[in-house]
Chains A and B, each alone.
Chain A
Amino acid sequence: MNKHPNKIYASPILIFLGFAALIYINLQVSLDRVNFYVIGVLSVVAINIILTVSLNLINGITGQLSIGHAGFMAIGAYTTALFSIHLGTPIYFNLLVSGIAAGFVGFLIGLPTLRLRGDYLAIATLGFGEIIRVILQNLRFTGGAAGLGGIDWVDNFYLTQFMAIVVVIVVWRIGASAPGRAMVAIREDETAAETVGINTTKFKVMAFALGSFGAGIAGSLFAHRMTYIAPDGFTFMKSIEVLVMLVLGGLGSITGAIFSATLLTVLPEFLRFIDEWRMIIYPALLVTVMIFRSQGLFGTMELDFARVKSILKKVAPENLGPEKGKSNPPMQKIKALGFDSQEQKPILETKDLSISFGGLKAVKNLDMQITQGSLHGLIGPNGAGKTTVFNMLTGVHLPSSGEILFNGQRIDGNSPYSVAQAGIARTFQNIRLFKDLTVLDNVKVAFHLHADYGLGTAVARPPKFGAAERRITSEAKELLEIFKLGDHCMTIARNLPYGAQRRLEIVRALAVSPKLLLLDEPAAGMNVLETEKLMELIHWVRDEFDLTIFLIEHDMSLVMKLCQTISVLDYGMKIFEGTPEQVRKDPRVIEAYLGEEVS
């Protein structure tokens, strides 16, 4: 879906124009120069912006295709209606409880459904959206199909506009914070996100609940404006309407969401003079945009406030480089642990580890110990089960039997993110970077665990937030600098040369501060020279970061020169383990490699 860079920055002129328009409109309204009709249209624009931007948090930023937004709007609207009718509570109170009610239901629905992906999630959210409506239609206290009337009339343009601005700022701030980066990482590659320690379920549910909260607020404003609501105002078509606004503007772009919500609300009013024909122009516009600009008008492009600031203050926007004179905390921390290779104590141990896929036993009774601080290799012919072993160690696959002990603690059965949090990081055989993010953001995502602030801080932005973000950025840059990727900070990951992508994946894994690093065929696709360099790099990384490294490799020369211990896997069984010299001589190993003499 994202075949385009994540951040292209629009001209600051757009921002100035936007603010100028906002000020102009408010001036006109405050001077009583516009009539109810225009103010009413503007209120609808604001409500649609709230809906679209809050859906963007779920569909755009987190990449979870939800098409049940109208259901959550309905919960907000009905909560407001019931409070207003029965208790006569003021709109400020109703806004809050409606948001909370919708957010809570979003949380409850999100927990089970967000385990689904793609089309399945879309169908499930569609179903839940409809269930909410059907329940409202059949409950007596919600007025059934006839709906609820007599809600307090509050058609306050300023309040509606204010709420829209608040929602935009909140979603914007979440997007540009550690939790937001975790959500974007889930959109880009869910498996890779898990392996850098992101609890994907938690962040998906968080995004879903927050998006639903926004829909609840929109529903509350809607109810106070309409004074009467009925279930048929919240059908599937309403959800689609919001989704269309989001897709037209560009999934993932708040700017695009605001723009298209405004356009699609105001345009039909201007087109009213052509009667029925406007019903054709609207879909024709959609089809045209989708054909010529399938990523939406704005793609994932955002307005760049840093650039506006830089123009205003004449400072460089990304002036967040390492502060001189300060040491690097994570590297210091790791170094402080000391180098304990003398102890020869196993950092990772598998006991009788097996896994079957259907009838096939991919790995059989594997017993293995990886000594702390060692460079341990895993070799074997194609299909021997090497990557399967990695997947079990990192929690991607659940072993059928046996145990995995990391630092003496059992970790089998743990989910990938908690394995990563415990200190095991990995790279993938086929590189799995967050391809559409910048090199810097790829690393910052992995620093997620170092961000010692939560969602509240991300939204409120106290000084602590800036400090944490500066620290994360400077640490990430420093790490990239070490791996000679410093010049590529703002490059989109997919545009890096192949070797640099491999290096970036290692950097990203190191950003998790692992104790054990698993490398899955790091030299795959590299020429002799590059392999040579990689070997030096791996050695250096092990010493510099005091790591234990466990690697799968096909390139025998690399393994033989690099590793102290080598385990050989064939048909899922460990057939040999020893030093490179022993491996080279062993007849079983030679046989496994079809009699080929290992050089």
Chain B
Amino acid sequence: MKKGFLLAFLLVVILVVSSIMASSSEPIKLGLVGPMTGPLAPYGEGVRDGALLAVEQINSQGGINGRQVELIVLDNQANPQETITLVNRLIQREGIVGLIGPVISSTSMVAGPVVQRQGIPMISPTATAVDVTLQGDFVFRVCYLDDYQGLAAVNYAVDDLGAKKAGILFKVGDAYSEGLRVVFRDNFQAAGGEVVELAYNLGDTDFSAQLTRMKDQGVEVVYSPFYYEDAVLALTQAESIGLDAIFIGGDGWDAQELLDQAGLAAVNSVFTTHYSTSDSRSVVQGFLSNFQGKFGRPPIVLAALGYDAAALMMDAVERAGSDNPREIRDAIAATQGFEGITGQSISLDEDGNPVKDITIIRVVNVEDNPQFEFVTQVGY
């Protein structure tokens, strides 16, 4: 009798302990969707590595409320149709409680309605199209919108450079390029400036005709909303035809390759971006050295956004004190003064967009070597 009681007691203890063990040891699952193969793979991989670093740091500190975090990464090749399938897979098959990504605006546009319907919060690290977060209250992002980036460029051109006449060189049919172009044009004109808009097509490598016309028109700044590959071409060609206007780029310029490939032709140009590597805050410097240590290379700018998206998501899980997706959503929405790499104090507005500073970087000549130099941070 006594023996039987002891056995029963032991069984109960084992059951209780194991169930506690199970609930505390079962990881909190987060999903990440982005292009890991194909032409956009560098961006997807950057975001992934940033997010992995953030998850690793949390886990090494004992996880969230004692539970480890597992990040499940799936490759969508930047394809919208694939994205729907993958988000469904992550939610239904893997049981994620939050989604980081997708990386590209078009894929974020299709992922939004899916997470909204199934009640899983999503934080896009890098989708800049305005409509992304308007799809529902489960959709957030940590990058600023194209509007703010374009406006910051106009303010810098008008207030700091005193420009009256601006050229805009943009890529036809490219959502990023055309979006920034419109913002810059409208705001520059509203500030009393004159704008010369010239376009190029996907695959063009010779901008000298457009740049020569800008030179003839006497523009003081050239707004250049495109990625660094095209910026290298534009800068070197501008130098060779003797156009000495100041080039203003967007976050697409923020890559070491710009300096490596354009060389001194890049000197004096400025661009708006998410953070500066010379920022002395310990989060930033810690991120830079840890990233280099883990992956053996410096992070691209999107890696910082991937890191912030994952860190913000996990911060919200911790604040929610639960793995209920709805409570996590509420915690994300309530984010105030979160310290990230791309902002000392990030808050989310009612649309799910971040309120944070924009960083402006200038290329300077240090002993015949072009280098990035932090200029200023502007809030909005």
Q: Which residues of A contact B (CB under 8 A)?
A: 35-37, 40-41, 44, 134, 137-138, 144-147, 149, 153, 222, 225-233, 269, 272, 275-276, 279
Q: Who on chain B is nearest to A272 by CB?
A: B74
Beyond A145-B174, A147-B109, A269-B85, 19 extra complex contacts between A and B, CB < 8 Å: A35-B88, A35-B93, A37-B88, A37-B89, A37-B91, A44-B85, A137-B173, A138-B173, A144-B173, A145-B178, A147-B106, A225-B81, A225-B84, A227-B113, A228-B109, A228-B110, A276-B36, A276-B75, A279-B37
Interface centre among A44, A230, A275, A276 (most CB of B within 10 A): A230
- Picked from B110, B174, B178, the residue with its CB within 8 Å of the CB of A226 is B110
Q: Who on chain A is nearest to B109 by CB?
A: A228
Q: How far is the CB of B374 from chain A (nearest CB, A)?
A: 32
A233 touches B81 (CB 8 A): yes
- Which chain B residues in 71-122 approach chain A with CB under 8 Å? 74-75, 79-81, 84-85, 88-89, 91-93, 105-106, 109-110, 112-113, 117-118
B106 touches A228 (CB 8 A): yes
7 tightest Cβ-Cβ pairs between the two chains A and B: A35-B92, A228-B109, A37-B88, A145-B175, A37-B89, A137-B173, A37-B92
What is the predominant secondary structure among interface residues of chain A facing chain B?
Answer: helix
B109 touches A149 (CB 8 A): yes
Question: What are 17 residue pairs bridging A and B, where the CB atoms are less than 8 Å apart in the complex?
Answer: A35-B92, A35-B93, A37-B88, A40-B84, A41-B85, A44-B81, A134-B173, A145-B178, A147-B175, A149-B131, A153-B117, A228-B112, A230-B175, A231-B173, A269-B89, A272-B74, A279-B37
Contacts of A35 in B (CB 8 A): 88, 92-93
Contacts of A226 in B (CB 8 A): 80-81, 84, 110
Q: How far is the CB of B137 from chain A (nearest CB, A)?
A: 16
Contacts of B175 in A (CB 8 A): 144-147, 230
A231 to B178, CA, bound (A): 14
Contacts of A134 in B (CB 8 A): 173
B80 touches A145 (CB 8 A): no
Q: How far is the CB of A107 from chain B (nearest CB, A)?
A: 27
Given A147-B106, A227-B113, A276 and B37 touching (CB < 8 A)? yes
Q: How far is the CB of A271 from chain B (nearest CB, A)?
A: 11
Contacts of B112 in A (CB 8 A): 228
Does chain A have a CB within 8 A of B179?
Answer: yes
Contacts of A275 in B (CB 8 A): 36, 75
Q: How far is the CB of B286 from chain A (nearest CB, A)?
A: 29
Given A146-B129, A146-B175, A275-B75, A230 and B85 touching (CB < 8 A)? no
A478 to B172, CA, bound (A): 65
B173 touches A36 (CB 8 A): no
Contacts of B91 in A (CB 8 A): 36-37
- Picked from B93, B106, B113, B135, the residue with its CB within 8 Å of the CB of A233 is B106
Q: Who on chain A is nearest to B131 by CB?
A: A149
- Which chain B residues in 45-85 approach chain A with CB under 8 Å? 74-75, 79-81, 84-85
A69 to B343, CA, bound (A): 46
Contacts of A228 in B (CB 8 A): 80, 106, 109-110, 112-113
Q: Who on chain A is nearest to B93 by CB?
A: A37
Q: Who on chain A is nearest to B178 by CB?
A: A145
Q: Who on chain A is nearest to B176 by CB?
A: A145
- Which chain B residues in 18-45 approach chain A with CB under 8 Å? 36-37
Q: Which residues of B contact A (CB under 8 A)?
A: 36-37, 74-75, 79-81, 84-85, 88-89, 91-93, 105-106, 109-110, 112-113, 117-118, 129, 131, 135, 172-175, 178-179
A153 touches B93 (CB 8 A): no
A279 to B41, CA, bound (A): 13
A230 touches B92 (CB 8 A): no
Q: Who on chain B is nearest to A265 by CB?
A: B85
A436 to B109, CA, bound (A): 49
Contacts of B92 in A (CB 8 A): 35-37
A36 touches B36 (CB 8 A): no
Given A149-B109, A228-B109, A36 and B172 touching (CB < 8 A)? no
Q: Who on chain B is nearest to A269 by CB?
A: B85
Given A138-B172, A231-B173, A232-B106, A40 and B85 touching (CB < 8 A)? yes
Q: How far is the CB of B141 from chain A (nearest CB, A)?
A: 15
A232 to B172, CA, bound (A): 13
- Picked from A144, A230, A276, the residue with its CB within 8 Å of the CB of B80 is A230
Q: How far is the CB of B265 from chain A (nearest CB, A)?
A: 29
Contacts of A233 in B (CB 8 A): 79-81, 106
Q: How far is the CB of B100 from chain A (nearest CB, A)?
A: 18
Contacts of A269 in B (CB 8 A): 85, 89
Q: How far is the CB of A267 from chain B (nearest CB, A)?
A: 13
A447 to B325, CA, bound (A): 67
Q: How far is the CB of A203 from chain B (nearest CB, A)?
A: 33
B109 touches A144 (CB 8 A): no
A534 to B4, CA, bound (A): 106
A145 to B81, CA, bound (A): 17
A230 to B106, CA, bound (A): 7
Contacts of B106 in A (CB 8 A): 147, 228, 230, 232-233
B173 touches A145 (CB 8 A): yes
A153 touches B113 (CB 8 A): yes
A146 touches B179 (CB 8 A): yes
Q: How far is the CB of B146 from chain A (nearest CB, A)?
A: 10
Contacts of A147 in B (CB 8 A): 106, 109, 175
B109 touches A40 (CB 8 A): no
Contacts of B81 in A (CB 8 A): 44, 222, 225-226, 233
Contacts of B110 in A (CB 8 A): 226-228
Q: How far is the CB of B147 from chain A (nearest CB, A)?
A: 13
Q: How far is the CB of B80 from chain A (nearest CB, A)?
A: 6
A153 to B136, CA, bound (A): 14
A290 to B37, CA, bound (A): 25
Contacts of A272 in B (CB 8 A): 74
A144 to B129, CA, bound (A): 13
Q: Who on chain A is nearest to B201 by CB?
A: A134
Given A36-B88, A40-B85, A228-B106, A149 and B135 touching (CB < 8 A)? yes
Interface centre among A222, A225, A227, A229 (most CB of B within 10 A): A227
Contacts of A276 in B (CB 8 A): 36-37, 75
Q: How far is the CB of B159 from chain A (nearest CB, A)?
A: 29
Contacts of B129 in A (CB 8 A): 146
A40 to B75, CA, bound (A): 17
A134 to B88, CA, bound (A): 31
Contacts of A37 in B (CB 8 A): 85, 88-89, 91-93
Contacts of B37 in A (CB 8 A): 276, 279
Q: Who on chain A is nearest to B108 by CB?
A: A228
A371 to B104, CA, bound (A): 77
Q: How far is the CB of B90 from chain A (nearest CB, A)?
A: 8
A41 to B86, CA, bound (A): 10
Contacts of B174 in A (CB 8 A): 145
Q: How far is the CB of B371 from chain A (nearest CB, A)?
A: 34
A225 to B84, CA, bound (A): 9
A145 to B110, CA, bound (A): 15
Contacts of A40 in B (CB 8 A): 84-85, 88
Contacts of B179 in A (CB 8 A): 146
Q: How far is the CB of A4 from chain B (nearest CB, A)?
A: 34
A134 to B81, CA, bound (A): 20
Contacts of A138 in B (CB 8 A): 172-173
Q: How far is the CB of B222 from chain A (nearest CB, A)?
A: 21
A402 to B175, CA, bound (A): 61
A37 to B74, CA, bound (A): 14
Contacts of B88 in A (CB 8 A): 35-37, 40
A552 to B324, CA, bound (A): 88
Q: How far is the CB of B130 from chain A (nearest CB, A)?
A: 9
- Picked from B93, B135, B178, the residue with its CB within 8 Å of the CB of A144 is B178
A138 to B109, CA, bound (A): 20
Q: How far is the CB of B270 from chain A (nearest CB, A)?
A: 26
A232 to B79, CA, bound (A): 9
Q: Who on chain B is nearest to A153 by CB?
A: B113
Q: Who on chain B is nearest to A230 by CB?
A: B106
Q: Who on chain B is nearest to A34 by CB?
A: B92
A153 to B179, CA, bound (A): 26
Q: Who on chain A is nearest to B75 by CB?
A: A275
